[in-house]
Structure 1
Amino acid sequence: MPEKRVTVASKVGLHARPAATVAKAAAAQPVAVHIAKAGGDPVAAGSVLNLMTLAAGYGDEVIISAEGEGAEAAVDAIAELVATDLDA
């Protein structure tokens, strides 16, 4: 199962607009993408509510994972978004 560790770059963390952007992109992937804070339980990345309950703030490390055909590309796509300041 591919996974990638990435640092949250948005100044507000994975809250509001950044969470909506990440959730929309994750839901569009061909596989289910999960995200977790280091040491926490993974949640479905395709849900804004799930992303907001992570309480992943600016500078926090998160782990993005997926399983199945196309999982590596899905993980890379979501990791790239999380590592971008989506408030800019």
Structure 2
Amino acid sequence: MKKFVVTGGSGFIGSNLVKFLLKKNYFVINIDKLSYSANPYNLKKIEKNRNYKFFKTDINNQSQVYTILNRFKPDGIFNLAAETHVDRSIDDP
């Protein structure tokens, strides 16, 4: 089974990608720090799916991200983690 990491997987676009990948029978690892723009409710229906893992982690935390990547050894990474407002991404990248 192919495995994919989705960063920012609790946001609007990321959560739809997570659902799409799960429907294709892939294993999905969602890494999201759950900032103000994330909505965990987007993924409420899949949180118990055995092909889904969620990690509340900031992608700036290299050691945690490396640990996750080494544990699951994904086939690909979709990097959708981002601040949704330009001023926020400039003030606190």
Per the normalisation by structure 1, the TM-score is 0.33
Q: Larger % of helix: which?
A: 2
Higher RCO (Cα < 8 Å, 6 or more apart):
1
Per the normalisation by structure 2, the TM-score is 0.32
Q: Which has the larger radius of gyration?
A: 2
